[in-house]
Amino acid sequence: MNQPLRRLATVVIVMFVALMAGATWVQFAQAKDLNADPRNARTLYREFGNARGPIVVQGKAVAESVKVDDPFQYQRRYSDGELYSAVTGFYSIVNGSTELEYAENDNLTGRSDQLFFTRVRDLLTGRQPEGAAVETTLNRAAQKAAFEGLGDQEGAVVAIEPATGRILALVSTPGYDPNDLASHSSKKASSAYARLRDEDGNPLRSNATRETYPPGSTFKLVTAAAALESGEYDETSEIPAPVRLDLPQSTASIGNFGGGGCGANPITLAQALRVSCNTAFAQLGMDLGDDALREQAQRFGFDDADLTIPMGTATSHFPADANAPQTAQSAIGQFDVAATPLQMAMVSAAIANGGRLMTPYVVDRVRAADLSVVSETKPSLLSTAVSPGTASALKEMMLGVVESGTGTAAKISGVQVAGKTGTAQNAEGQAPHAWFTAFAPADKPQVAVAVIVEHGGSAGNEATGGRVAAPIARAVIEAVLNK
Partner 1 sequence: MTTIEPHRVRAGRGSELGLLLLALMVGIGAYALVGLGVEGEVPADVVGYSTGLTALALLMHVVLRWRAPYADPVILPLTVGLNGVGLAMIYRLDLAYAAKPNHDSGFAGRQLAWTAISVALAAAVLILLRDHRTLRRYTYTAMVVGLGLVALPLVPGIGQQINGARIWAHIGPIGMQPAEFAKIALAVFFAGYLVTHRDTLALAGSKVLGLQLPRARDLGPIIIVWAASLAVLVFERDLGTSLLLFGMFVAMLYLATERLSWVVIGLLLFVGGAALAATAFSHVGARFEAWLHAFDPDVYGRSPGGSGQLVQGLFGMAGGGLFGTGLGQGRPDMVPYAESDFIVASLGEELGLTGLMALLMISLVLAERGLRTAIGVRDGFGKLLAGGLAFVVAFQTFVVVGGVTRLIPLTGLTTPFLAYGGSSLLANWVIVALLLRISNDARRPAPVVSALTPAGGIPVPAPQDDPTERFGRVR
**Dihedral sign for Cα atoms in the order 457, 350, 82, 479:** negative
Among positions 1, 320, 371, 427, the unique one binding partner 1 when judged by CB under 8 A:
1
DSSP secondary structure, 63-112, as one string: EEEEE-SSTT-EEEEETTHHHHHHHH--EETTTEE-HHHHHTHHHHHT-S
Interface characters, 19-48, with partner 1 (x: CB under 8 A): xx-xxxxxxx-xx-xxx-x-xxxxx-xx--
d(CA 189, CA 397): 50
d(CA 373, CA 358): 23
d(CA 175, CA 411): 28
117 lies in the binding site for partner 1 (CB under 8 A): no
Considering the complex, state which of residue 36 and residue 371 has its C-beta at the smaller distance from partner 1: 36
Q: Which of 65, 85, 206, 217 is catalytic?
A: 217
Considering the complex, state which of residue 120 and residue 373 has its C-beta at the smaller distance from partner 1: 120
Min. distance of Cβ 127 from partner 1 in angstroms?
A: 11
In the range 279-338, which residues lie near partner 1 by CB under 8 A? none
185 lies in the binding site for partner 1 (CB under 8 A): no
Name which of 221, 246, 169 is nearest 406 in CA terms: 221
Considering the complex, state which of residue 9 and residue 66 has its C-beta at the smaller distance from partner 1: 9
Name which of 413, 465, 468, 406 is nearest 441 in CA terms: 413
**Dihedral sign for Cα atoms in the order 287, 288, 290, 291:** positive
Considering the complex, state which of residue 6 and residue 197 has its C-beta at the smaller distance from partner 1: 6
In the range 122-151, which residues lie near partner 1 by CB under 8 A? 123, 126
Min. distance of Cβ 132 from partner 1 in angstroms?
A: 20
Min. distance of Cβ 51 from partner 1 in angstroms?
A: 14
18 lies in the binding site for partner 1 (CB under 8 A): yes
116 lies in the binding site for partner 1 (CB under 8 A): no
d(CA 54, CA 369): 10
Q: Is 330 a catalytic residue?
A: no
Question: Integer distance in angstroms from the first to the last C-alpha of the chain?
Answer: 98
68 lies in the binding site for partner 1 (CB under 8 A): no
d(CA 389, CA 396): 11
Regarding beta strands 373-376 and 433-440, do their DSSP bridges make them parallel or antiparallel, or are they unpaired?
unpaired
Min. distance of Cβ 91 from partner 1 in angstroms?
A: 19
Catalytic residues: 217
Query: For binding to partner 1 (CB under 8 A), which residues are involved?
Result: 1-6, 8-9, 12-13, 15-16, 18-20, 22-28, 30-31, 33-35, 37, 39-43, 45-46, 49, 71, 123, 126
